[in-house]
A and B are shown apart, each in its own frame.
Chain A
Amino acid sequence: MVTAPEVSGFVPPTHTPMVALRVPEPLADREPAPETLEHAFELHGLSAWYGTSQALRNISFDIPKHRVTAVIGPSGCGKSTLIRCLNRMNDLIPGFRAEGHVTYHGEDIFAATTDAVLLRRHIGMVFQKPNPFPKSVFDNVAFGPRINGYAGDLRALVEESLRRAALWDEVKDKLSASGLALSGGQQQRLCIARALAVEPDVLLMDEPCSALDPIATYRIEELITDLAHDYSIVIVTHNMQQASRVSDLTAFLLAGEERTGELVEFGPTRDLFTTPKDQRTEAYITGRFG
């Protein structure tokens, strides 16, 4: 359950080059052993192009279920491209091409038999800038279930989704108010509720806090930790402290001169941040570049 932060005891996260590692409590007792976990996604040699320029090269790693996996790296390294491949949102960009395999629950998502529309229902996405529809709060959350033909109790589903997104208490009396009338942090939680309403099992989050103030950020980070019990979460972030606070595993991407992103290192967050295996990883997390 997410509670509001106590203002007196709250210390906003600082952006210092030296990593102040703070392992969140709920994850401390988990044994991050990726080899023994079931996988939400398995990436084999994923490469991607926008027209003639290559954005990703040969990305291979496995994203486990019911964990938070962070994707970090300097800007332009292809993090967003990577997660947008996972729910085939890049299909919307003309000139985009992907090669390699990404397996979701055993199925290749790039196969011709895979329906992207159906896939996207099971893989939810939250964007960098909150993008609620100019509809009421209720209609925002109900949009996904309605188009996917939900035949159950819609009101209950909307309430459940808003509860899971830690927004119910704040909007329960104004469900018919416009989604745009909420604050930035509330809008982002509304977008999370909207994504949860279609009952996905994966949640992709593309820098979900970068447009929010520190307090809203903190609440969403708590929410992410909570959601990981029920969903598999992949979060892209340029904020290393956030990655270290929130994630179980981290993938570090880096782009060379050709601006093509490659996977440098992937492993349990604690290990990657305290004893990185690659010197480029160490250089990034100690702030020597990025």
Chain B
Amino acid sequence: MISVADTRVASARRPPRPARSLARRRTTDRTVTALLLLATAASVLTTFGIVLVLIFETFEFLRVVPLTDFIFGTEWTPLFDPKRFGVLPLVSGTLLVAGIAALLAMPLGLVIGVFLSEYAGARTRSIVKPFLEILAGVPTVVFGYFALTFVTPNLIRPLIPGTDVFNAAAAGIVVGLMVLPLVATISEDAMAAVPRSLREGAYALGSTDLEVALRVVVPAALSGIAASFILAISRAVGETMAVAIAAGSTPVLTLDPFRSVQTMTGYIAQVSLGDTPQQSIEFRTIFAVGMTLFLMTLALNVASQVIVRRYRNVYQ
């Protein structure tokens, strides 16, 4: 039997309702939300910053140098007279190095990816995966050093005696090593995502391991594998230190990997290290080249995203 007196005593003993505390908690929640949103703005600002800087400086550059000269010109001599502002030699240098890197990293990376996904046991994986991570974590200056002091004298010069000290081949080889982990791990992820039931279906028809791997799994994972290739090329195109050290600083439109060339990134580094006055057209060239570089890598990255989104297989 509960009397009225009892309830009054009971309510006196009950702790006070935390009405004020709840309001404060709500304010804290709202403040934090605003702060987090502000933090997120940093990434948006970065993109705006990059785009605006590049557009503005390129615009200033194009006021002096016609766009057609820049895009289609085959000589790049902005620092000497007669000044020529054709970017093609730099682009060709970049593509030459990136091409050699891709030639090395794509087949090697794909085979390693297939190996990890379809063949390797747990013990092998526990050796290979850390090694890939280490390879991916070595700073690019180290690769540049390796290219100049080891690859050129010990690997390339003995085979092709006329090779320049700075050459595209050495740079391409080490950049290939640099992006190899990218191809291997992304391809492997793509292949691991192929459902087991597909492999079983192929085995049940009397396939060997190789046929299951190459005729079922790799085609099924093709969009991811293609994306890994494109991303590797994008990384190779944007690489600076290794090529600045090993590829050379002579912009020339050539397909010969055994001579000195200059990449877009190498040129930007060269000018920055020099004493070209900052407001001059010569200095502005680095932004024009930077814009070209940015557009190229952006196009490649977007292409890889589009390929994955459109061609990825959806299994019921």
A125 to B202, CA, bound (A): 10
Docked CA distance A131–B198 (Å)? 6
Distance A194 CA – B216 CA, assembled complex (angstroms): 14
A184 to B316, CA, bound (A): 8
Partner of B314, one of A129, A180, A187: A180
Answer yes or no: A166 CB below 8 A from chain B CBs.
no
Chain B residues whose C-beta falls within 8 Å of the C-beta of A117 in the assembled complex: 206-208
How many contacts between A and B, using CB within 8 angstroms?
70
Decide if B205 touches A129 in the complex (CB within 8 Å): no
A residues 173-232 near B (Cβ < 8 Å) are: 180, 184, 187, 191, 194-195, 198
CB of A180 within 8 A of CB of B315, answer yes
Picked from B204, B219, B220, B315, the residue with its CB within 8 Å of the CB of A125 is B204
State A195–B206 Cα separation when bound (angstroms): 10
Q: Interface extent on A, as a size class? A: 20 to 34
**B211 at the binding interface (Cβ < 8 Å):** yes
A23, CB-defined interface residue at 8 Å: no
B120 to chain A, nearest CB (A): 13
Name the interface residues of A109-126: CB closer than 8 Å to any CB of B: 117-121, 124-125
Q: Is B200 an interface residue (CB 8 A)?
A: yes
Closest 3 CB pairs of A and B: A121-B206, A125-B204, A144-B205
Within 8 A of B (CB), among A59-83: none
* B139: A residues at CB distance < 8 A: none
Q: Knowing A134-B220, A143-B215, A180-B315, say if A148 contacts B206 (CB, 8 Å).
A: yes
Least Cβ distance of B112 to chain A in Å?
A: 22
Closest residue to A198 on the B side, CB-wise?
B205
Main secondary structure, interface of A, reads helix
Q: Is A135 an interface residue (CB 8 A)?
A: yes
Q: Does B33 sit within 8 A of A, measured CB to CB?
A: no
B203 within 8 A of A: yes
Query: Is B201 on the interface with A (CB-CB < 8 A)?
Result: yes
Q: A194 contacts which chain B residues (CB < 8 A)?
A: 201, 205
Known: A143-B202, A180-B313. 17 other contacts (CB 8 A): A92-B200, A92-B203, A120-B205, A127-B201, A131-B197, A131-B198, A132-B201, A133-B201, A134-B313, A144-B205, A144-B206, A148-B205, A180-B315, A191-B201, A194-B201, A194-B205, A195-B204
A47 at the interface (CB under 8 A from B): no
B66 cross-chain contacts in A, Cβ below 8 A: none
- In angstroms, Cα B316 to Cα A74, docked, is 26
* Chain B proximity mask over A153-165: 1 for CB below 8 Å, otherwise 0: 0000000000000
Closest to A120 in B: B206
User: Hey, which chain A residues are within 8 Å of B314, CB to CB?
Assistant: 180
Q: List residues of chain B with CB within 8 A of the CB of A121.
A: 205-206
Task: Judge whether A147 and B200 touch: CB under 8 Å.
Answer: no
- B contact residues around A147 at 8 Å (CB): 205-207, 211, 215
Evaluate contact between B206 and A180: CB separation under 8 angstroms: no
